[in-house]
């Protein structure tokens, strides 16, 4: 019986995707947006994405989500990048991110006043 080394398989998949992206290809990313009682919840999954490669920022009224594949210790190739305009009824200073069960969850609360956040990086809480 043959055994499969999951670590090796994952590394090979990531290397293959890095080569695909460097050649102009992309990695499929699934996004699900739902309106909750107190705000919007965006759930994002991407096959074999290292959770540490996610970067989330607010820039000029947009929520920007990206992931980089490292080519070497100094360079990275964007795996994906998506920008969402932050609607006026969303409190951008309250946007939070967590990584839960292989999904990136980003919660954008509804405005309780007139709070509009500045440009910033959003740290991801890993459970």
What CATH number is given to the structural domain containing 40?
A: 2.60.40.790
The confidence score (pLDDT) of residue 104 equals 94
Assess if residue 119 is contained within a domain: yes
**Tokens for 39?**
């705000």
Residue 64 CA to residue 20 CA, distance in Å, equals 23
CA distances from 37 to 40, 94, 114, 119 (A): 8, 15, 19, 26
Assess if residue 1 is contained within a domain: no
The confidence score (pLDDT) of residue 39 equals 95
The confidence score (pLDDT) of residue 76 equals 72
Which residue positions in the chain have pLDDT lower than 50? none
The confidence score (pLDDT) of residue 110 equals 93
The confidence score (pLDDT) of residue 23 equals 53
The confidence score (pLDDT) of residue 37 equals 93
Assess if residue 113 is contained within a domain: yes
The confidence score (pLDDT) of residue 12 equals 60
Residue 82 CA to residue 78 CA, distance in Å, equals 11
Assess if residue 67 is contained within a domain: yes
Assess if residue 112 is contained within a domain: yes
CB–CB of 114/104 below 8 Å? no
Among residues 109, 98, 88, the alpha carbon closest in space to that of 35 is found at 109
The confidence score (pLDDT) of residue 108 equals 95
Residue 111 CA to residue 101 CA, distance in Å, equals 28
What domain range includes position 56?
6-126
- Bridge partners for 103 per DSSP: 100
The confidence score (pLDDT) of residue 24 equals 52
- Bridge partners for 54 per DSSP: 67
Domain count, the chain: 1
Among residues 61, 53, 62, the alpha carbon closest in space to that of 21 is found at 53
Model pLDDT for residues 76-86, shown as the tens digit of each residue: 777 778 899 99
The confidence score (pLDDT) of residue 73 equals 75
The alpha-helical segments, DSSP class H, found in the chain are 6-22
Assess if residue 118 is contained within a domain: yes
The confidence score (pLDDT) of residue 6 equals 67
């Amino acid at each position: 019986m043959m055994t499969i080394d999951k670590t090796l398989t994952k590394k090979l998949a990531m290397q293959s995707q890095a080569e695909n992206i460097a050649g102009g290809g992309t990695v499929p990313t699934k996004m699900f947006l739902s309106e909750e009682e107190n705000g919007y919840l965006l759930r994002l999954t991407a096959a074999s994405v290292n959770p540490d490669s996610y970067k989330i920022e607010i820039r000029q009224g947009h929520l920007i989500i990206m992931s980089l594949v490292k080519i070497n210790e100094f360079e990275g190739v964007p795996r994906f990048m998506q920008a969402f305009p932050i609607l006026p009824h969303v409190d951008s200073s309250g946007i939070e991110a967590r990584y839960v069960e292989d999904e990136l969850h980003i919660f954008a609360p509804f405005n309780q006043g007139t709070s509009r956040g500045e440009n910033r990086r959003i740290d991801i809480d890993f459970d």
